[in-house]
Amino acid sequence: MGFITLYGFSLLGFLIIYFLAPKVQFLDLVTDGSSWPVQLLVGALFGVAAFFVINVFIQSKFLDDLTHYVYDLAKQLSWLDIFFLSVCAGVGEEILFRVGIQYFLGVWPTAVLFILLHGYFSLSDWRVTLYGLLMTLISGGFGILYLKYGIGSAMFAHFLIDFIILGMLKVRQVKLAG
């Protein structure tokens, strides 16, 4: 699944630009922006800050049903798996959504689409929808990072959020088992 996310989503983002905006150079969309050290720093700051906000939901047991599924997933993953999946999601999803889709829809419609496709809006569970609204703000933040600093900042923020959350849940599983 990681390879599909990394390569398939990236390819899809490229194809969207290639066929729907043939005068736009895809490489310009992924190379424009601040220097890589600045992109990584800004992405790190946003990613860590977003994690702390997300963690409030995780620690409060507010979304116990949703996080239980992720706990079970994290328990089965090695640290290398967590790193690999976080890289794949950070790179593949950001190229597809920020570079490919956001070019046409803009920041906020893309953020809503991103969260809809992740299943964080529910007509039957208002708690999941509330979490979805928070995640929409964070996803919109990825879009703003991309516009202001470059795709590297959005990728690194996304990677960090996934890596820290999965890592924290894995550590929590170890503590609960031990």
Where along the chain do its domains lie?
Answer: 2-177
Summarised one tens digit per residue, pLDDT across range 81-113 is: 999 999 999 999 999 999 999 999 999 999 999
pLDDT of amino acid 178: 45
CA distance 115 to 158: 13
Please state, in angstroms and rounded to a whole number, the distance separating the CA atoms of residues 130 and 120. Answer: 8
- Comparing CA positions, the residue from 161, 177, 154 lying closest to residue 42 is 154
State the CB neighbour count (10 A cutoff) for residue 20: 11
For residue 112, report the phi and psi dihedrals to the nearest 5 degrees. Answer: -65, -45
Whole-number Å distance between alpha carbons of 174 and 171: 5
Residues 9-56 have pLDDT tens digits of: 999 999 999 999 999 999 999 999 999 999 999 999 999 999 999 988
Q: Work out the average pLDDT over 55-78.
A: 78
pLDDT single digits (tens) 122-133: 888 888 899 899
Q: What is the pTM of this model?
A: 0.93
Dihedral sign computed on CA atoms, order 40, 24, 10, 13: positive
The amino acid at 77: L
DSSP string for 32-53: -SS-HHHHHHHHHHHHHHHHHH
